[in-house]
Structure 1
Amino acid sequence: MSDTKNWKFSHDVASKAEWTPGLREIFEYRDLGIKGGTKGDYVAHLVRHNGKKMKDDVQHWHVHDCTFQMVYVLNGWATFEYAGQGQKTIRKGDCINQIPGIPHREIACSEDFEVLEIVAPSDFKTRIVEAPAAQAAE
């Protein structure tokens, strides 16, 4: 991580929000300015369903190469499966500390699903992985 003295103040104005494509084909993303403000140490973005009905790679088992990932549900619901944790349905108001490197996959989500996600570092990678041994037989 960089020295926080080099971080800068940021103010992301909701009325000027830009929603863009991102990691998932069925979602759109709004960067909240934290990536630039923290010189890439963190990214904070809103993620919401865009209405597309299709499968994508994140519905396969995958991991995120990061040191921190927090997900707070603003609207709707989603069901994920986590290695060693089983299936978890997250709903409006729920928060997950998704530990670094935990294999997981999405099972389903509502069309009004929207989350606040904070991740470190901002340039984290996502990798498809084999299903964990316990889940592979299911």
Structure 2
Amino acid sequence: MATGGPLQTKAPAMPKLWKNQAFTIAHADDGKFEGQGLRAFFEYRQLGIAEATQGKFGAHVIRAVPGMESPGAWHSHDLDFQMVYVTKGWVVFEYEGQGEHILREGSCVLQPPGILHRECRHSDDMELIEITSPAEFATQAEEAPE
């Protein structure tokens, strides 16, 4: 029997993954790029996501160090999620079973967990945003796929 009022439902419970997160904002002019990251030919600016999510997620801006090139080493990561969004310039990645792909400003790639890949080359002005889960993860050097 209709009551004439709005239907009220209970919101589903939030999964534990989404609990215990802190509010955070990172402004470009407040951030500092550091060369202490996974790759010497890149600089990294942390966005505060690792701290706000207790390490469940990480996000940073990565930019090329002008004049430095990638050695193109094959590798893989022990993580659950890795997404890259190019904000400036271009970068070429090669993925096992997927071939070489040039990512330009506005390009986005989801790299499945454990996929063998390598950064082949990039423009001197390249910048991208990388989001991972978890924030900290192991990286393994790999042999080139056949």
TM-score by length of 2: 0.84
3-state SS of 2:140 partner: strand
User: Judging changes above 3 Å, is the alpha-carbon distance between structure 1 residues 2 and 62 closer, same or farther for their aligned structure 2 residues?
Assistant: farther
The 1:14/1:53 distance shift into structure 2, 3 A limit, reads: closer
RMSD: 1.6
Helix, strand or coil for the counterpart of 1:45?
strand
Structure 1: runs of 5 or more not aligned: 134-138
Q: CA deviation at 1:78?
A: 1.1
Alignment correspondent of 2:40: 25
Asked if structure 2 preserves the Cα contact closer than 8 Å seen for 1:25 and 1:52, the reply is no
The answer to which structure has the higher helix fraction is 1
Tell me if the contact between 2:89 and 2:127 (Cα under 8 Å) persists in the aligned partners. Answer: yes
User: How does 1:1-138 map onto structure 2 within 5 Å?
Assistant: 3-21=17-35, 22-56=37-71, 59-133=72-146
CA gap 1:89/1:54 in 2 versus in 1, 3 angstroms: closer
Q: 1:2 Cα deviation (Å)?
A: 5.8
- Checking the alignment, whether the CA contact within 8 Å between 2:95 and 2:115 is kept in structure 1 is yes
- Structure 2 unaligned runs (5+)? 1-14
Question: How many matched pairs?
Answer: 131
Offset of residue 55 of structure 1: 4.2
Per-residue displacement from partner, 1:38-83 (whole Å, max 9, x unpaired)? 0000000000012142444xx2110011100000000111111100
Deviations 1:62-120 (A, max 9, x none): 00111000000001111111000011111110000011110011211110110010000
- Structure showing greater Rg: 2
**Are residues 55 and 81 of structure 1, via their aligned partners in 2, closer, same or farther at CA, if it must alter by over 3 Å?**
closer
Q: Partners in 2 of 1:117 and 1:34 — Cα distance?
A: 11
Task: Report the 3-state secondary structure (helix = DSSP H, G, I; strand = E; otherwise coil) of the residue aligned with 1:6.
Answer: coil
TM-score of the aligned structures, taking structure 1 as reference length:
0.89
Alpha carbons of 1:40 and 1:61: their partners in 2 closer, same or farther (altered >3 Å)?
A: same
Q: Shift in Å at residue 5 of structure 1?
A: 2.2
